[in-house]
Structure 1
Amino acid sequence: MKKINIIYPPLVEDAYDYFHEEDASVTKGQVFRKLIEDNIIQLNGYPTKDAIEAGIVRDFSEDANLTFEEFLEIYPVFKRYDANYFWLEDEFWVMDEALLAFIEVDLEKDAFSDYELTELEAFFEDSIEESIS
């Protein structure tokens, strides 16, 4: 019998990693069903409005032409750095490459909380996706 590889949405993968550390017998399918049952994700894997409003899931979606203050609401981790490192380019906020060196130093010092690391990961993931498109 041929094995079927199911690709789960990122929220399921993240939740699976978390729960699998606590209970090695948990499966991704169980996590997927539980997240839907608890109204955290929709069938398509996207978070529900209720989950976002309750703060269970963060939405890192950026709209075009946000103010810098709105950008910082999505990525508050960047409040620790000078605003001069950022500018709007093609309707979205980008950072100067020089800031990466400061971020790398802070990463080496473990200066970021788990929430801040998630914000950085989301920002750089979105930045990479935008440059590829």
Structure 2
Amino acid sequence: MNENNIIYPDLVEHSYQIMKSQGVQITKAKLYKKLVKSGMLDKYGQPTQMALDEGLVDTYTRLDDGTYQPKSLETFKQDNPMYADYADNHFTWIDGKGWAVDEYVIRAEANDIINDPNSTQEQRQTAYDMLKYASHED
């Protein structure tokens, strides 16, 4: 597979462009490995707390609980592929809390888990709890 066919995280792409503009010769693959080794990216290509704290990633915002979430819905969906096919109107940004999904998405995701023969009992119980919450039952 050609390196140009691989989709690298934003931090890799941005770093690569900076290095390239300064005449540094490095492949994106090698840069990716260096960023993981240095602790700026985790093994899944997500920015680490260190990268976020140092301001290397501007597509994320710090929430009230100290965690980070993407500023844009597009990035949120890229980070959470299970939501990729849902229309944007099912998502709401809540200041300080991040992205929230509506009842339709909660029900659909819960039902997918319940009907998945590979889901664990714990996952199914969480899905039942989600459905109960979505139904506003006590």
Compare the two structures and name the one with the higher helix fraction. 1
* Alignment TM-score, normalising by the size of structure 2: 0.40
TM-score normalised by structure 1 residue count: 0.42
Name the one with the larger strand percent. Answer: 2
Higher relative contact order (CA closer than 8 Å, sequence separation 6+): 1
* Structure ID, larger Rg: 2
